[in-house]
């Protein structure tokens, strides 16, 4: 007969007597547990070692998600712009794509600045429905 000693998480211990066959199985399980622990810690140490020496493990999933999100936003923007009149689309193109000031856009479109500002506010209200 052999004795197996077990230490609980709270620090208390318990000992039981078992036959040789059970004791051999217990020793085998302990060895397997040690080997598994060694494999795990060895792998983690080597990854940390690589990271400390400049090897970077980038997460491409985040980049893929950002690309999908950007594509969906672009589709929503294009869909929203399709619902504007040609005049409103021309104004948006002048101000946001061609980066013209409100004064420059007013001259180009033959309108005054306050008219351009009012039209932009109307456009914003229409576009808010899509977002």
Is pLDDT of 44 > 70?
Answer: no
CA torsion sign for 42, 48, 50, 53 is negative
The predicted model scores a pTM of 0.48
Outline where DSSP puts E strands in 8-104. 13-18
Higher confidence at residue 11 or residue 61? 11
Q: Is 54 left (phi over 0), alpha (psi -120 to 50) or beta?
A: left
- Which H or E run includes 32? helix 20-52
pLDDT tens-digit profile of 19-33?
999 999 999 999 999
Residue 99, both tokens? 């980066």
Residue 49, both tokens? 């070692």
Residue 62, both tokens? 């985040």
């Amino acid at each position: 007969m052999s004795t197996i000693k077990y230490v609980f998480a709270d620090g208390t211990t318990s000992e039981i007597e078992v036959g040789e066959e059970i004791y051999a199985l217990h020793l085998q399980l302990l060895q397997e547990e040690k080997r598994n622990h060694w494999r795990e810690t060895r792998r983690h140490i080597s990854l940390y070692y690589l990271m400390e020496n400049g090897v970077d493990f980038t997460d491409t999933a985040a980049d893929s998600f950002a690309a999908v999100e950007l594509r969906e936003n672009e589709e929503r923007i294009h869909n929203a712009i399709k619902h504007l009149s040609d005049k409103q689309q021309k104004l948006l193109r002048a101000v946001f794509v061609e980066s013209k000031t409100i004064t420059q856009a007013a001259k180009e479109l033959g309108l005054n600045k306050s008219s351009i500002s009012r039209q932009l506010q109307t456009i914003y209200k229409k576009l808010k429905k899509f977002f």
